[in-house]
Each structure stands twice: as C-alpha cells, then as structure tokens.
A = this chain, B = another copy of it.
Amino acid sequence: MTEPRITIIDVARAASVHPSTVSRVLNRRAELSLLPETRQRVITAARRLGYRPSALARSLRLQRTFTLGMLVPNIDNPFFPPIIKGVEDTAHARGYNLVLCNTEDSSEREDAYLRVLRERQVDGILIASSFMADATIAELRRDRFPFVLVNRGTRGSDDLAVLVDNEKGVAAALDHLVDLGHRRIGIVAGPQTTMTGRQRLTAARVTLRARAVKLDPALVSVAEAFSQEAGYRAARRLLVGVEPPTAVFGANDLLAIGVLRAAREAGLECPADLSLVGFNDMPLTEFFGPPLTTVHVPQREMGVRAADLLIAQIEGKPAATRRVTMDVHLVVRGSTAALSRSQQKTA
C-alpha cells in the first residue's frame, strides 16, 4: 500500500468530531450517549473515505488479537485438513481468526513458530504437532498461556486436550485381523518420539496379548515419520523376512499406504496375500486400491471441540471438561480379508 492509510483521525476530521467519538460510534459503545445525528455523520464519513480500522493498533491497545495459532505437523497429511476446517469454522463463528503453522515434523520449526505466535500475541494456541518437547509445553503451562493439545497427550498433566481413543481403535483394528484368522500380524508403528506413536504400539501389544497372539519382534517396524514414504521403508524391512506377516496394522493411514506400496513391489496382492488396516480414516481412503479398512476418527469434530475448549479458556469461561476423548470405530473396507489357504501355506 503506497496510499497513505485512512485513520480514525481522518474520519474524525471529515465528520468534525474528535477521534474518540469516531471510535465510540464505530464500536457501538452504549456507555456514552451520542447524538444520532453525530453518529450518522461519522458513519457516513467513514464509509465515504473507505475507512478500514487497523487491527494492529486495536490489538496493541486491547492486548487482544482475536487470533488463534495452530501448529500442525504436516498439512500434506489429509488427516489434518478436516481438523483444521473444524477449528477454523468454530473460531470464525466466535470472532477469531486462525494462523496456521506447518511444522514439517521438525522440532526447530515447532519452536520457531511457537515463538512467532507468541510474539504476535495470538490469544491461544492449538497444538496438533507431536514432536514438541515437553519442556516447551511446560513453558506455556508456566506462563499460563492458553493452549489445547489436539490428537496428542502429555504425560500425566491435566492440560486441555482433545484426544483419540487409541486403545479402543487399535483394539478394534487388531481384533478384526485376528477374527479374520490372522496370527502373523505385522505392525508398522509411528515414530516412538511421539505420544501417538507410542500409545498405538503399546495398545497393539496389549491387544494381541489379550487375544493370545504372539507378536514376533521381527514383525514390528518403526517408521521414522507418519508419512507414506516412511511407511514404505518400514514395511520393506517387514516384508523381506523369512516368515512375512499375513496382515499388517499401520499406525496411521499414510503408513498403511506405504505398506501397500511395499507389498505391491514385493508382488503381494492386498488383501489376497496381505491384509492391511490403517488408522484415522482420512478423506479419500475409500478410493484407494483397495479401499482401506481403517479406524475412523471424527476429524472435523475434533477441530471443533478443540477450538471450543481453547476459546472457553481464553474467555475465562468455566471449562466443563479439560479433556475430550473422541470415540472411534473400525470401518471395514476392501483391504482386509480372511486368512486364506495359500497364506497359511506360506506362513
């Protein structure tokens, strides 16, 4: 903008009133009585000049930006967009804007962005990013800076959080495989540096033990990220063994797709040679070849609940609950099938 900015002072001059009067008129403050005629003069002048308030100046004065920040690990993961939309819709409806930060699964970027968000004085932060050091979060806690964790927990503290019932979801996924007759089940786990990665792997162990299926350590492969590529690399380690699995559980859908690719490369058909279950039920999974059996997570709803929680906290409303756990359920599609004779022979 090379044009000089139209300020409240310009409007005041045009309407022959004091700037403070302009402010009161435009903010519809009832505290002070104003002549209807004056009010009209101000409004007309503002419109005529094309006045746009400066959110910067306003925020500086009010110490409130009406902006939320959100840290997302990777916007490329189709799991997140619906969550983001849920947050955005809710925020918008309540008069807040959203600044989105893609941390690219890097803790440096997480820290950098967090700093930026605080310097910009966002009113609160949603953290869907999972690598973040507990120390960083502890700092937020100490400063009483409003924040909500999304799809990730922290050890034992009572931070505001919207979580997924990982235990139930993993159990549903593995029960399904066991029910189909599978006994050699492989796990492509998420990074064990993340809460989600650890919880799901632990839950898998628990479930298999409960079903009396023993988990061959050679069939557990930890991916270094929640991405298709990492899933592919992890799956390759899994499928080359002397006794490959007849079914694999991927700790999220992208990992499962990576497994699919590795399987194809190894000449395995899914689900004939290898059953596959994912987690999240991200958009478009039903169109994959084959359509992915996966654990459905109410993504948009998570975003909505997270934004609700955060805004309530910001506005000092009594939080009905500090922790929301989303229910999940298995969606059976085409990537899983009963253990076949040929698979039994191989195994």
Which residues of A are in contact with B by a Cβ distance under 8 Å?
1-3, 5, 52-57, 59-60, 63, 65, 75-76, 78, 81-82, 84-85, 88, 97-100, 102, 104, 115-116, 118-121, 143-145, 228, 257, 260-261, 283-284, 287-291
The answer to whether B284 and A56 touch across the interface, beta carbons within 8 angstroms, is no
**The residue from B2, B76, B257, B287 contacting A85, defined by CB atoms under 8 A apart:** B76
A284 engages B228 (CB within 8 Å): yes
Task: Identify the interface centre among A5, A53, A60, A144: most chain B CB within 10 Å of its CB.
Answer: A60
Cα distance A57–B56 when bound, in Å?
8
Asked whether, in the complex, the Cβ of B3 is within 8 Å of the Cβ of A143, the reply is yes
The answer, among B53, B54, B76, for a CB contact under 8 Å with A60, is: B54
* Contact residues in B for A287 (Cβ distance below 8 Å): 228, 257, 260-261, 288-289
Q: Which residues of the partner chain B approach A257 to less than 8 Å between Cβ atoms? A: 284, 287
Query: What are 25 A-B interface contacts by the 8 Å CB criterion?
Result: A1-B144, A3-B143, A54-B119, A55-B116, A55-B120, A56-B56, A56-B65, A56-B120, A56-B121, A75-B75, A75-B81, A75-B85, A76-B78, A76-B81, A76-B82, A76-B283, A88-B102, A97-B120, A100-B100, A228-B284, A228-B287, A257-B287, A260-B287, A261-B287, A289-B290
Alpha-carbon separation in the docked complex, A55 to B98 (Å):
17
Q: Which 9 A-B pairs have the closest CB atoms?
A: A289-B289, A100-B100, A55-B119, A75-B81, A55-B120, A56-B60, A76-B81, A99-B99, A287-B288
When distances are taken between beta carbons in the complex, the residues of chain B under 8 Å from A55 are: 116, 119-121
In contact, A85 and B56 (Cβ under 8 angstroms):
no
Asked if B75 and A84 make an inter-chain contact with CB atoms under 8 angstroms apart, the answer reads yes
A52 to B100, CA, bound (A): 21
Is the pair B119, A53 in contact by a Cβ cutoff of 8 Å?
yes
Max chain B Cβ within 10 angstroms of own Cβ: one of A98, A99, A228: A99
| Given the contacts A144-B3, A289-B291, A121 and B81 also touching, CB distance less than 8 Å | no
- A54, B121: Cβ atoms closer than 8 Å: yes
Alpha-carbon distance A186/B237, docked complex (angstroms)? 44
> B289 to A52, Cβ gap below 8 A?
no
B78, B116, B119, B288: the one contacting A289 at CB < 8 Å is B288
Nearest CB on B from A317, distance (A): 15
**Are the CB atoms of B52 and A119 closer together than 8 Å?**
yes
Distance (Å) between the CB of A293 and the closest chain B CB?
Answer: 14
- In the complex, what residues of B have CB within 8 A of residue A121's CB? 54-56
A261 to B143: give the CA distance in the assembly, Å: 51
Q: A84-B102, A102-B88 are in contact. Are A2 and B56 (CB under 8 A)?
A: no
Alpha-carbon distance A1/B116, docked complex (angstroms):
15
Chain B residue numbers with a CB within 8 Å of A84 are: 75, 102
A98 partner residues in chain B, CB cutoff 8 A: 100
CA distance A249 to B76 in the complex (A): 25
Q: Give the CA-CA distance A82 to B63 in the complex, in Å.
A: 35
Q: Smallest Cβ distance from A168 to chain B, in angstroms?
A: 26
Contacts of A53 in B (CB 8 A): 119
